[in-house]
Amino acid sequence: MAKLQSTEIVGVANRPTTICSNSVCLWFDTTDTKFVLSYCKYIGSWSAGGSLITARRSMAAAGTQNDGLAAGGGATVRSCTEEYNGTSWSVGGALITARRELVGAGTQNEGLAIGGFTTGSVSCTEEYNGTSWSSGGALSTARYILAGAGTQNEGLAMGGRTSVSVSCVEEYNGTSWSAGGALITARSKLGGAGTQNAGLVMGGDLGSSVPISNSEEYNGTSWSVGCSLIFGRISIAGTGTQNAALAIGGFSGTLTEEYDGTSWSVGAQLTAERGRMGGAGTQNAALAIGGYRTGGEVTCSATEEYTAVLTSFDKVK
């Protein structure tokens, strides 16, 4: 996806050495007596990372590509936590409340595990310090298959399901949750990204397992309509920021889409189709963790790493 940094026109006898600090650069090659239009864009690709110790889906995920966190999840409820160092997963402190279909936020050393499902939807929040989990403030509305964003002290819990898909949004201050602005469209199985004051939700379903494509943007008070995904999907993973986000996988497909704050564009394909995975990291350095593959209905342990590199291209004028 092209990301405009700046535009520059230069007249030089050879290729500018700093072309990839700009998105567009027109320069004159005096050797071949021709104008050359050079431009840059990020090219991303997925590659295999270290496998989870415990295969699972519908977990809480947080952190970065080199400092990832996965907690809970599973076909049945689990409490296990794993930490990623950019190469392999190791065992972390177990959740106090085993659960699945929860969501995560924050970092590996300051993480949140929010909501989820045991025998019904739960409201509990737990905080991670890099070693162990402790109880945090309970959600006002117990729910599962929701989206999360932000940090341990400025978190967001968005949408999800009680007995139906809901529009409620809550904000966390490190101690307790309070009501935020409601989503325009109630939804569950959605993806989330961004911060408490610049949040983003994408895709999901209305409760009928029919995928939706619209996205919404949060300013810390209210939601506005964002650009729709190219392909509507449910059970997707979201990560990144409001203006530089990824929507990863979902049922049924391997598609990744990239958001620049204005529109979505097609990114690289996951190696294998899956939904209900965990997403972490940034738009240019992300993780897709575990998940659920249809067909064989397999809960997987696979981790994939998304890396986008700024690459230059020339076009003779």
pLDDT in tens, 163-210: 999 999 999 999 999 999 999 999 999 999 999 999 999 999 988 888
Q: What is the pLDDT of residue 273?
A: 87
Q: What is the pLDDT of residue 210?
A: 84
The stretch 139-154 carries a mean pLDDT of 98
CA distance 58 to 232: 19
Contact criterion met (CB below 8 Å) for 36 and 290 = no
pTM listed for this prediction: 0.88
Fold of 50-301: Neuraminidase (2.120.10)
Record the tokens describing residue 229, joined without a space: 């995904």
CB neighbours of residue 313 within 10 Å: 11
- Which neighbouring-strand residues pair with 38? 25, 314
pLDDT digits (tens, 9 = 90+) for 225-279: 999 999 999 999 999 999 999 999 998 678 999 999 999 999 999 998 899 999 9
CA distance 297 to 35: 55
Phi/psi at 74 (nearest 5 deg)? 105, 165
Using 50, 70 and 90 to split pLDDT, how confident is the model at 52? very high
Q: Is 15 a residue whose pLDDT tops 60?
A: no
pLDDT digits (tens, 9 = 90+) for 102-118: 999 999 999 999 999 99
What residue ranges do the domains of the chain occupy? 7-43+309-316, 50-301
Using 50, 70 and 90 to split pLDDT, how confident is the model at 43? confident
The one-letter amino acid at 234: I
